[in-house]
Amino acid sequence: MTESGLSIAFKFINFGVLVALLVKYAGKPFMGLLRKRHDTVGDAVSEAERLLREAKEAKAMYEERLGRLDAEIETFRKTALEEAEREKKRLLDEAGAMAARIREQARLAYEQEMRDALAHVRGEIARMTTEAAEKTVKDLFRKEDNDRMVDELIEQLGSRR
């Protein structure tokens, strides 16, 4: 063997001895460390799987709730529309009743105004008729007629005694 071959052989032997010593003295602690690391990684994987499973369950639960939420929103919308329709009908009924009351009040007020106007017109007609009659009587009976009628009345009263 050449010197470089011999040198390489010694290096392999040294390496082998080093590995043998490490295995003999550091093997158990190293294996314990590896086993501990393996257990830690296994626990972390188990925990990750558990968390993943819980996350999937939570996701499924929230998806179910979202599905129900859509149904609840639809139910609420229908209920709100029905309530709005009932309120609309109630308001229209009230407005119709109020309009009927207003029409009746207007009719009554109209009738009262007509009665008042007719009474006023009748009063004016009566006043004007009375004035016209008085004027006619005044025009027909002069002072001489009045004096003559008074004299006739006095004679009639005197003759009855």
The backbone torsions φ and ψ at residue 2, rounded to the nearest 5 degrees and listed phi first, read -90, 170
Determine the 3-state secondary structure of 161 from DSSP: coil
What pLDDT, on a 0 to 100 scale, did the predictor assign at position 89?
A: 95
Cβ–Cβ under 8 Å, residues 25 and 17 = no
pLDDT tops 70 at residue 140: yes
What pLDDT, on a 0 to 100 scale, did the predictor assign at position 6?
A: 84
pLDDT tops 70 at residue 108: yes
Compute the distance between CA of residue 35 and CA of residue 112 in angstroms, rounded to an integer: 111
pLDDT tops 80 at residue 27: no
**CA dist 129 → 87, 138, 154 (Å):** 62, 14, 31
- Domain spans, the chain: 25-156
The backbone torsions φ and ψ at residue 6, rounded to the nearest 5 degrees and listed phi first, read -65, -40
Q: What confidence category does residue 47 fall into, taking pLDDT thresholds of 50, 70 and 90?
A: very high
**pLDDT digit string, tens, across residues 32-44:** 888 888 899 999 9
Cβ–Cβ under 8 Å, residues 1 and 9 = yes
Higher-pLDDT residue of 157 and 125 is 125
Determine the 3-state secondary structure of 2 from DSSP: coil
Compute the distance between CA of residue 154 and CA of residue 146 in angstroms, rounded to an integer: 12
The backbone torsions φ and ψ at residue 152, rounded to the nearest 5 degrees and listed phi first, read -65, -40
**pLDDT digit string, tens, across residues 51-93:** 999 999 999 998 888 888 888 888 999 999 999 999 999 999 9
Fill in the amino acid letter for 154.
I
pLDDT tops 60 at residue 1: no
